[in-house]
Amino acid sequence: MKKWLRPWSGTTRRVLPAVVVLGLLLPVMLACGGSGAHFQQTQTPTPPEVPLTRLSTDTFTNPSSQHATEVEPDTFAFGSTIVSAFQVGRIFGGGASDIGFATSTNGGAAWTSGFLPGITIFQGGGTFSAASDPAVAFDAKPGVWIISSLGLGAFNEVVVSRSLDGINWGNPVTVKVSATSDVDKDWIVCDNTATSPFYGQCYLQWDDPSANGLIWMSTSTDGGQTWGPALNTADLAHGIGGQPVVQPNGTVVVPYEGLTGFMQSFTSTNGGVSWNASVTISSITDHLVAGGLRTSPLPSAAIDAAGTVYVVWQDCRFRSACASNDLVMSASSDSSVWTAPARIPIDPVSSTVDHFIPGLAVDPATGGDTARLALTYYWYSQANCILSTCALNVGFVSSQDGGSTWSKPQLLAGPMSVAWLPNTFSGRMVGDYISTSYCGGKAYGVFAVARKNSGTIFDEAIFTNTAGFAAIEGEALFSSTGEQTVPNAQSDHAPRQFYDLEHRYPVKPPNN
């Protein structure tokens, strides 16, 4: 088929209804419930044409949370099963009432949802006052689904919940953390390559905000039932948002946002016995997202069948005066040398669009020049908006050639008013990250969508695209090949004072 290449110039469970028509949810002119402000579109986008499925509902009633809200989803797919996990009932000061899950065992055709038991005092006899930062993995060797999360309370811990079917979950297992340390932004991955020398091992990452973001790693060899000692990297890496992936040869690669304005990564080549010193992927040059929305250039990482690691983050280096963010991507096949960040050509560099909070996926059956990539993300039509005018949307693009060219962007949901989102000490929230996974050759994005508040009650839930996205032959493709960064590009804001994103610890760059 002919393709057109156009470079830009410039264990409560319930089965939920299958389809929600978002055109009924998001009218052209919308009032911000509970705020007294009014939201006006700065631009009229094409109405969403993609049917969406609502995955869950916040049914909690604890007064410490902002109900009804669901934020910050992660997903993982294996075989015909997709498991998603997310915060339910967001709390202003950090975390949520509990971690929710939504699982499809038939390739996205139907979903079953519920809440993880035994973590918080609001669900199944847990002891923590809040839960946060869910991440999903599957350990193929024993056939176990694992959701890692944070238990927040008088003492904060990393915990993992386990399930044989992705629907029935046991009480959490605590990952040993030093009594003098704290935890934030956990992430988990398992080695599912049968020929790997470390097949069946799982790796868990988190950072310690009380120690300036010191990064820790722990390894399990029994499907998450027990975990080894927490270890640091050879250079005592400090940062946030690490997302480990595993290459087919068993090498674990962990991209993360460093505290000194660089995207970095580190590795283990011996099954987590030790962790090597960090290498630099790229500097970070980002635009401060308007409207008080909570975002940061945290990496979204994925890996293809050949072992190439892809990292995407929000960055403004291609925009004059750093006026808005693009999503940029760097890749590495050897985990030591990374390509220069390339702009994903969603819009021309002359546009007013701001892009942020990416969720990247790679079809695990593809690799190299034919690797299939999918990216779900949020965006504003006008980057220089304010709380009452920012038009928040969800978009999707894909690549069939390892990121050399990209499809026309697809609108999934929006516009939404930022005032419809739950508030936190660091801004209004849809999530510090979102997620996309491939299942049966189709890409499923999972993301938060909000509607107008009803008084003090929110209406924000987790959705996915109902039918998934498959490759479309013959569609027009877009490339950013040959584009140059703006000379001496700099962020349009002062260096961030990093925070533990749940507990308000000020985190400063380490002395080393």
Q: What is the dihedral of CA 83, 89, 93, 99, to 10 degrees?
A: -30
> What is the distance between the alpha carbons of residues 430 and 23, in angstroms, rounded to a whole number?
20
Which residue ranges of the chain lie beneath pLDDT 70?
Answer: 1-48, 179, 473-474, 497-512
Closest Cα to residue 140, out of 333, 363, 364, 359?
Answer: 364
Q: What is the pLDDT of residue 463?
A: 98
Query: Residue 496: inside a domain, yes or no?
Result: no
Q: What is the pLDDT of residue 497?
A: 65
Structural domain for 327, as ranges: 4-489
Q: What is the pLDDT of residue 494?
A: 86
Query: Residue 41: inside a domain, yes or no?
Result: yes
Query: Residue 501: inside a domain, yes or no?
Result: no
Closest Cα to residue 70, out of 131, 153, 119, 118?
Answer: 131
The CATH number given to whatever domain includes residue 296 is 2.120.10.10
Q: What is the pLDDT of residue 476?
A: 79
> What is the distance between the alpha carbons of residues 190 and 231, in angstroms, rounded to a whole number?
17
Query: Residue 348: inside a domain, yes or no?
Result: yes
| In contact, 433 and 400? CB cutoff 8 Å | no
Collapsing DSSP to helix, strand or coil, 53 comes out as strand
Query: Residue 494: inside a domain, yes or no?
Result: no
Report residue 375 CA to chain centroid gap: 11
Collapsing DSSP to helix, strand or coil, 420 comes out as helix
Q: What is the pLDDT of residue 28?
A: 29
> What is the distance between the alpha carbons of residues 468 and 305, in angstroms, rounded to a whole number?
21
Q: Which residues contact 460 (CB under 8 A, 6 or more apart)?
A: 68, 69, 70, 71, 420, 421, 422, 430, 448, 449, 450, 451
| In contact, 193 and 251? CB cutoff 8 Å | no
Query: Residue 164: inside a domain, yes or no?
Result: yes
Number of separate domains in the chain: 1
Query: Residue 503: inside a domain, yes or no?
Result: no
Query: Residue 495: inside a domain, yes or no?
Result: no
Closest Cα to residue 282, out of 338, 219, 322, 208?
Answer: 338
DSSP string, 176-200: P--TT---EEEEEEE---TTSTTTT
Q: What is the dihedral of CA 216, 129, 135, 375, to 10 degrees?
A: -120
